[in-house]
Amino acid sequence: MLKKSLTLFLTLILLLASITPALADSQKKGSAKIVRDNYGVPHIYANNVEDLYFTYGYVMAQDRLFQLETFRRGNNGSVAEVFGEKFLARDQQMRRDGYTDKEVEAMIKKMDGFSKKVIQNFADGISLYVEEALKNPDEKLSKEFHDYKVTPKAWTEVDVLRLFMSSMGVFMDSEQEIQNAKILAQLEKQYGPETAKKMFDDIFWEKDPASPNTLPEEGAVNPVKKDTKEAANQQFPGIEGVSDTISEKRNDFVETSEKLGLPLKIGSNAVIIGPEKSATGNALLMGGPQYNFSAPGSVYEVGLHAPGIDIEGSGLIGMPIIMFGTKENYAFTSTYGVGNLVDIFVETLNPENPHQYLYKGKWMEMEKKVETFTYRNDKGELKEETKEFYSTVHGPVTYMDEENNTAYSKAWSFRGTEAQSWSAYLESNWANNMKEFQKEAQKMAMSINWYYADKEGNIGHFYTGKYPIRDERVDLRLPTPGTGEYEWKGFINPKDHPYAINPDTGYIVNWNNRPASNWGNGELSFMWGEDHRVQQFIDLVNAKEKLTLEDIDDINYHASYVNLRTKWFKPMLMEALKETNDPKYQEVYAALQDWNNLNEDNNKDGSYDSPGVTIFEAWWPLVVENLYKSQLGDAYAPLKGIIDHRYGSSLTLRVLGGSNGPLETQYQWFNGDPDQFMLHSLDQALAQLENQYKSEDISTWLKPARMIVFTNTSLVGLPQYGSKIEFLEANRGSENHYIELTKNGPKGYNVNPPGQIGFISKDGTLHKHYEDQVELFANWKYKPVLFTEQDLATYAVSTEVLDIKK
């Protein structure tokens, strides 16, 4: 590792106009210039790759060291040492499923020289700031370090790569197959195998032809051809108890991750417009990565400038990678692909030795690793606990059910290739055109949608991931027998993944929907249905012949505040109301008709503007409950969030006769009159509301607006250092960027709340850039994307020159 020392001096530019356009001209060899704009965003100018990424690591640590410490501990399984025993189970899962330091080091050794150079210098930059901070902790260590009595340590290449490996692995993780198997078993107990199968297939359809797609029909392959003649036996004894235990552990993992401010509920949306649908004739791109609304935010913004690269944008904290940004000739963004990269294998255990499992006719020994955990107990004392973890040929053992002689192991298709994906992300930042960008997309093993738009007018979408070719006898919605008969048969060639370049539609939109009509996602199939939130973007993009960035922002605004169930179900309710002469129903009809389907509070009185919000939000949960609760019995609780989830409620659309697609239900969920059913649920809702508001006057039924804040959820139970500025709840990207690719370069604007710098002084004073983008975000305002030196000169407020001695 290079040993570097740094002499830093800060020049405060008092007159903004005094900064010359050639900001890098005064740099000498072995130095880097950091120009901060009026929102604290660093724009780094360096003479070589080493200095660029070294400085990148340094400024990220300068701005967000405690967040980096939290992310590092969250991904290497050492949280409980600081935050207490309640995080011990989470630490154990991270180490159970993760890699040892030696394993990560081995992966780094196999990486290409460029990637290793970047990782090393980025880690060295963070370490240098740590070294400086330890010499002056009162000024350079954020308040949290003092409160929690945490001493930061130098970073290594292992820390940098593991953060990506673990974070992305957690994003792609799924244990839904086990929950599905439990639900099927519960239904079989209540209804018998035949009826249960019909109900299960309705809830977890394998493919909905009416589900909206991002790409045209061509350019995709079907990952699996199903063979039902010799179907595998995927009924496993004791699955209900196993599912309950694993679900409880999963819920604890999610809860403790959110307390650390580690993003798990990712989504993201994107709109890319080609020249023929652009009002200016230039390609347009909007990205809205959806991470937690936390303070500090999950992504970090930066400008990177050195020979061979000029790029501006943001990426997940701790990664020297721009995930959402722009270069001189193209812009890019991404969304989660919701692909099927994880399988649960059910191992048959040896009754005489539970650490042996049957594989291809032989008893195999599980591999064992021993990990020691340090945790802080309720008295604040540090304790140690040693735990053994086991794995099979498929992956880590997540649960041992010795009573039924089974074990559950988890197989990630991308396991062992995370370093390759890290390099692909890095290299995509250095691509010069679409061909090079697509080449890196084909190396990415994680399930992500990558989007591209350039100043030549080209737009593209590339669906990434390492997708197994699974045995055709296996039902992909359920766990797979681990005896060796149903192993993966290789992986789909990345060249056969869904993709589109300059599609005939003239646009690309995505909100985690299906990439192409013949692409499935196994146990997560219920997330891709006819009722899908992406339809909000599709409808509004199609409604205009030509669009500007401002139009796209308006569309994003609508999608952020719309009640997603209004797309299909409000018209159905209004049609039922229209057929009646009841005066009360006519009042409801008028309220719903006047409501624009958005949950807005334009007059800032603390309530939503329309009683339509109140009525619809009281009615819809009763529709779901009345349709399914009595029929599903014990299975209703785990199924409620699947039947009516954040992407849509497609089964309900079919059950109530509102579907326009060919997929039909196999089970008779409802045999009455849909209109009368909806009105019955409405009657219940109106009775509740009359009692709640103590009035029959619908105009007074204004529901309190849901407000949220950017909060540092890692400090649950302790003083909150996050932003206290409230803003209206929105289903919106936690960062937004809008770019137009003009012939003269990129132009656009963005917002990355709550603020760039997550530093809190020892006395509790928030840095001036801690939350200065919250008001922008709340009021749908933006700051300009400062790409060129001329752009930056107008907004620059300070310059640091780092003299780097090697």
Least confident of 27-41, 210-224, 681-695: 210-224
Contacts of 236 by beta carbon, 8 Å cutoff, 6+ apart: 181, 242, 346, 404, 406, 479
Average pLDDT over residues 124-140: 97
Q: Is the full-model pTM beyond 0.95?
A: no
DSSP code of 510?
E
Please state, as a whole number, how many other Cβ atoms lie within 10 Å of the Cβ of residue 267.
Answer: 19
User: Using 50, 70 and 90 to split pLDDT, how confident is the model at 710?
Assistant: confident
- The answer on pLDDT for 23 being more than 80 is no
In degrees to the nearest 10, what's the CA dihedral of 57, 61, 63, 65? 150
Cβ–Cβ under 8 Å, residues 430 and 309? yes
In a domain, 744, yes or no: no
Cβ–Cβ under 8 Å, residues 345 and 481? yes
CA 785/CA 739 separation, integer angstroms: 8
DSSP H stretches of helix in 297-448: 418-429, 434-441
What does 251-313 look like in DSSP terms, one character per residue?
HHHHHHHHHTT---S---EEEEE-GGGBTTSSEEEEEE-----BSS-SEEEEEEEETTEEEEE
Which tens digits make up the pLDDT trace of 722-746? 678 899 999 999 999 999 999 999 9
In a domain, 142, yes or no: no
For 630, how many CA atoms within 13 A lie in the half-sphere containing its CB? 6
In a domain, 15, yes or no: no
In degrees to the nearest 10, what's the CA dihedral of 505, 507, 509, 515? 50
User: Using 50, 70 and 90 to split pLDDT, how confident is the model at 451?
Assistant: very high
Q: According to the model, what pLDDT value does residue 4 have?
A: 41
Please state, as a whole number, how many other Cβ atoms lie within 10 Å of the Cβ of residue 219.
Answer: 17
Cβ–Cβ under 8 Å, residues 251 and 60? no
DSSP code of 706?
P
Q: According to the model, what pLDDT value does residue 219 have?
A: 42
Q: According to the model, what pLDDT value does residue 14 have?
A: 31
Q: According to the model, what pLDDT value does residue 616 have?
A: 98
Least confident of 112-121, 223-232, 355-364, 499-508: 223-232
User: Using 50, 70 and 90 to split pLDDT, how confident is the model at 609?
Assistant: very high
H/E stretch holding 51: helix 49-76
**567 vs 239 pLDDT, higher one:** 567
Whether 268 sits among the annotated catalytic residues: the reply is yes
Average pLDDT over residues 680-697: 97
In a domain, 679, yes or no: yes
Average pLDDT over residues 142-166: 93
Measure the CA angle with vertex 180, ends 174 and 184; round to 5°.
Answer: 170
In a domain, 583, yes or no: yes
Average pLDDT over residues 750-755: 97
CA 269/CA 556 separation, integer angstroms: 9
CA distances 229 to 211, 226, 472, 474, Å, are 28, 9, 10, 11
Q: According to the model, what pLDDT value does residue 723 have?
A: 78
DSSP code of 155?
-
Q: According to the model, what pLDDT value does residue 13 have?
A: 33
Of residues 524, 337, 502, the one with CA closest to residue 414:
337
- The answer on pLDDT for 16 being more than 80 is no
Q: According to the model, what pLDDT value does residue 255 have?
A: 62
At 245, the amino acid letter reads T
Of residues 294, 293, 324, 328, the one with CA closest to residue 309:
328
Domain of residue 607: give its range: 564-597+600-705
Least confident of 425-439, 588-602, 700-714, 776-790: 700-714
CA 191/CA 180 separation, integer angstroms: 16
- The answer on pLDDT for 222 being more than 70 is no
DSSP code of 537?
H
In a domain, 671, yes or no: yes
User: Tokens for 393?
Assistant: 């040929």
Catalytic site residue from 142, 268, 659, 723:
268
Cβ–Cβ under 8 Å, residues 100 and 115? no
The CATH number of residue 651's host domain is 1.10.1400.10
Q: According to the model, what pLDDT value does residue 171 have?
A: 74
Which tens digits make up the pLDDT trace of 545-603? 999 999 999 999 999 999 999 999 999 999 999 989 899 999 999 999 999 999 999 99
What does 198-212 look like in DSSP terms, one character per residue?
HHHHHHT-S--TTS-
In a domain, 378, yes or no: no
Q: How many domains does the chain have?
A: 1
Q: State the average pLDDT for the chain.
A: 90
Q: Kindly state the greatest CA–CA separation across the chain.
A: 84
Average pLDDT over residues 387-399: 96
User: Tokens for 572?
Assistant: 């159905």
Which tens digits make up the pLDDT trace of 528-544? 999 999 999 999 999 99
DSSP code of 404?
G
- The answer on pLDDT for 238 being more than 90 is no
Q: According to the model, what pLDDT value does residue 237 have?
A: 84
Least confident of 256-260, 421-425, 428-432, 744-748: 256-260
Q: According to the model, what pLDDT value does residue 21 have?
A: 30
Say how far residue 485 (Cα) sits from the centre of its chain: 34
Q: pLDDT > 90: what percent of the chain?
A: 80
Least confident of 74-83, 166-175, 454-463, 756-765: 166-175
Q: According to the model, what pLDDT value does residue 281 have?
A: 98
**689 vs 294 pLDDT, higher one:** 689
Average pLDDT over residues 239-264: 63
Contacts of 444 by beta carbon, 8 Å cutoff, 6+ apart: 421, 424, 425, 450, 464, 465
User: Using 50, 70 and 90 to split pLDDT, how confident is the model at 229?
Assistant: low
Q: According to the model, what pLDDT value does residue 397 have?
A: 96
In a domain, 51, yes or no: no
